[in-house]
Amino acid sequence: MSEFEASPDFAGRMDTRDPLKGSREKFFIPEQVDGTEVIYFTGNSLGLQPKTARGYVEEELKDWETLAVEGHVNAKHPWLPYHEFLTGPVARLIGATPIETVVMNSLTVNLHLMMVSFYRPSGDRTKIMIEKGAFPSDRYAVESQLEFHGSVSSIASSESRPLEGGTQNKLIELTPREGESTLRTEDIVRAIEREGEQLALVLIGGVNYYTGEAFNMEAIADAGHKSGAVVGFDLAHAAGNLELHLHDWDVDFAVWCSYKYLNGGPGAVAGAFIHERHADAFDLPRFAGWWGHDKATRFLMGPEFHPIRGAEGWQISNPPILQMAALRASLEIFDEVGMHALREKSVKLTGYLEFLLSEIRDERISVITPSDPEQRGCQLSIRVKDADKRLFNEITSRGVSADWREPDVIRVAPAPLYNSFTDVYRFAEILKGCLKS
């Protein structure tokens, strides 16, 4: 017997009992023409605006207006160390120490900066492993790094399809088994073991953007290190979605954006994690800039670069204050609620969505996201057999903000910070009605 019920009364009771129900009131939720709130399930593309964000940004605009350059030291939140106001909250969010955490740049820029330092092909150890179907920007970045280092070629790998090709093949793409949509942890580990001394870097998305599969980052990091490779993760769909323990998992590096689950606003400043065992690795190559220079001597403007210890040493330019102000508003909410509590609600919320989808009993729809809560975040990717975008357009016209991915997948992500069980119930009813019509 399921713990869930397919009724509006049940959804309402779950919302009443929800200890995090107050967090919804801290965000602006778009409304339809008739004033009804949109069912907003696209926090995996752009998170909603915290109601405090405007005040935080306007505070910096006012300081710019009245203090001008003096705002760097005399603003209420001085601009010179502004990124440091975000370090603690972000470190707690990703399971890191402050020295391992920095907010800077954009995701793919940070990914390139990390690969400059951590992809060091040498001898036979030249290959990079990614998942097939990784977000395109990751693949573009990896291929361009391989081209920069002189060679690029692609092969496919899965447990059911043996590796082909020789040492000239540098890009390994992990593919699911025949007839499956997601990767198995044991297949990833075996592929890493199989590559052995030829593997330089394992770079996986913490959560696959298309399928919603959450990877076992601890197991992947362990297998990668046993093979002698560096291990990094793209956390674009994991940061603010999953409970992360990057330090304890011994991950070498990670990067993420802040405009999805972290609600930092369109084009928000991103972040990077570098494990503290690399904090004093000043011999690693890096693309340097003055904001990564030792703070005590930065303004002496000397010709030699002396990096700050830890992740801050990978900074290049001074931080974008207005973007960071908006992100600070969201991080305060995360700090108040805590990722453990958010994850507990997320498991129930997405579990309820999965239950309601099964209750529709329409053979055309299936969920390609793993059913095991440990292997997913809040997103479910719904495949609709023989569908085109008309179904998606119909649910959109009825007040659902979801996401269509070619050729036949609707992604829905009930974010626990601001989505409710009633949102989930309303969505399932709308989808059911559209399928019938």
Q: What angle do CA 355, 30, 424 make, to 5 degrees?
A: 5
What's the rounded mean pLDDT across residues 351-361?
Answer: 96
Which phi and psi angles does 324 have, rounded to 5°? -70, -30
Q: Is the pLDDT of residue 363 over 90?
A: no
Higher pLDDT, 104 or 159: 104
- Cα separation, 224 vs 319, in Å, equals 33
What's the rounded mean pLDDT across residues 325-345?
Answer: 98
Q: What is the pLDDT of residue 163?
A: 33
What's the rounded mean pLDDT across residues 51-69?
Answer: 98
Neighbouring C-beta atoms of residue 413, cutoff 10 Å = 27
What's the rounded mean pLDDT across residues 316-322?
Answer: 96
What's the rounded mean pLDDT across residues 347-373?
Answer: 96
Q: What is the pLDDT of residue 160?
A: 34
- Any idea of the CA torsion for 155, 156, 162, 164, to the nearest 10 degrees? -10
Which phi and psi angles does 99 have, rounded to 5°? -65, -15
User: Closest Cα partner for 200 from 219, 236, 172?
Assistant: 172
- Cα separation, 118 vs 253, in Å, equals 8
Q: What is the pLDDT of residue 151?
A: 52
User: Closest Cα partner for 346 from 268, 237, 435, 273?
Assistant: 237
Q: What is the pLDDT of residue 257?
A: 98
User: Closest Cα partner for 421 from 375, 355, 365, 369?
Assistant: 355
User: Closest Cα partner for 365 from 348, 350, 387, 392?
Assistant: 387
Q: What is the pLDDT of residue 62?
A: 98
Confidence of residue 158 (pLDDT cuts 50, 70, 90): very low
Confidence of residue 1 (pLDDT cuts 50, 70, 90): low
What's the rounded mean pLDDT across residues 279-294?
Answer: 96
What percentage of the chain has pLDDT greater than the value 90? Answer: 90
> DSSP readout, 332-391?
HHHHHH-HHHHHHHHHHHHHHHHHHHHHH--TTEEE-S-SSGGGB-S-EEEEETT--HHH
User: Closest Cα partner for 87 from 78, 97, 79, 77?
Assistant: 97
Q: What is the pLDDT of residue 122?
A: 92
Q: Is the pLDDT of residue 249 over 90?
A: yes
Q: Is the pLDDT of residue 247 over 80?
A: yes
Q: What is the pLDDT of residue 165?
A: 35
Query: Do the Cβ atoms of 416 and 423 come closer than 8 Å?
Result: no
> DSSP readout, 389-406?
HHHHHHHHHTTEE-EEET
Q: What is the pLDDT of residue 150?
A: 80
Q: What is the pLDDT of residue 385?
A: 87
Confidence of residue 41 (pLDDT cuts 50, 70, 90): very high
Query: Do the Cβ atoms of 1 and 328 come closer than 8 Å?
Result: no
331 contact partners, CB below 8 Å, separation of at least 6:
86, 89, 90, 93, 262
- Cα separation, 157 vs 173, in Å, equals 6
Q: Is the pLDDT of residue 155 over 60?
A: no
- Cα separation, 235 vs 95, in Å, equals 13
The amino acid at 62: K
pLDDT for 198-217, tens place per residue?
999 999 999 999 999 999 99
Q: Is the pLDDT of residue 336 over 60?
A: yes
For residue 203, the surrounding DSSP H or E stretch is strand 199-205
pLDDT for 385-430, tens place per residue?
877 789 999 999 999 999 999 999 999 999 999 999 999 999 999 9
- Cα separation, 87 vs 100, in Å, equals 9
Q: Is the pLDDT of residue 103 over 90?
A: yes
- Cα separation, 76 vs 70, in Å, equals 11
For residue 217, the surrounding DSSP H or E stretch is helix 217-226
Query: Do the Cβ atoms of 382 and 365 come closer than 8 Å?
Result: yes
Question: To which residue do tokens 């390139």 refer?
Answer: 112
Which phi and psi angles does 92 have, rounded to 5°? -65, -35
